[in-house]
Amino acid sequence: MNVPSVSKWQWHPFSIASCSRSDKIKFIIKNTGDWTGKLLTQFNEIQDKRVHRRNHHELNRDFESLSVVGDAQDPKYPKINLSQPISSPVQQSVYNYNVVYVAAGVGITTFLGFLELQLLKARNASDKGDTEICKLDNKEVIDFIFISRETENIRWIAKYINAALTLPQMTKKVKFHIYVTLKDESNDLASFLFWRAFAFLNEKLKKAHKLYSRVKIHLGRPDFDTLFDKILHKNTYPEHYVYACGSSGLTNNLEKICTKMTENGTHVNFNYEIF
């Protein structure tokens, strides 16, 4: 992605967070440096102007002619150039039966397009009154493992978690394993509210046993040896596929675990992206 108003020469890679059936292309861009900081500032300033102009228009609608307040064009967002997309290893997962996805932090964006596609399929089946198991490609069960030390990142997958709890077509096929590595420091209002909400949600899920088996929220880092052993050995198909996106430390650790499991007789194919 290139935004000339930020920098004429800089190009930055981003994962597409929407599926091919969507009428919009979606990116999740985190403010982590000068380029993303300037881009965020530009968008926020334009958004504020558009909201202000819209509110001003509504305020004056009953008192002035619309031609007076409605002729001015809304400020335009900056021009964005996109180069040809590069295929992600995750796209190959549509051909696999037993799949485990592992994402750390912003690495979740690699999987959001796939999640959105499954959500659209589930909603379509629900609208048609189809209560049978939704065909999520050719999957038996999809296990999503998401690790984040920033609680706000969970909102990236909030609607998919909600679907896994409410849509039968998703509930029967998708499992979420969420690990929050943030320390419990309830010394300010925001932290206090998060931990209260976390405790409430986890208690609610535990009471609804079927839901708790589909969405599990943990504090701390996952024990991948134990988790993979539990997930992979319950599957009936002999070949397993793990797709990961995160730091080199995470992917190196997962590769060692998958190699060890393969040597011990459980065949695991490991694919990864590093950010």
CATH architecture of 89-274: 3-Layer(aba) Sandwich (3.40)
Instruction: Render pLDDT for 19-37 as a digit per residue (tens, 0 to 9).
Output: 777 788 888 887 788 999 9
Q: The whole model's pTM is what?
A: 0.74
pLDDT of residue 194: 58
Please give the C-alpha separations between residue 253 and each of 99, 177, 206, 223, 256, in angstroms, as whole numbers.
Answer: 18, 18, 30, 11, 5
- In the chain, which residues have pLDDT < 70? 50-75, 125-140, 164, 169, 183-213, 235-236
The candidate with the shortest Cα–Cα distance to 40, out of 26, 27, 30, is 30
Domain boundaries defined on the chain: 1-85, 89-274
Containing 200, the helix (H) or strand (E) segment is: helix 189-207
pLDDT of residue 62: 40
Interior/surface letters 130-154, b for 16+ CB within 10 angstroms, e for the rest: eeeebebbebebbbbbbbbeeeebb
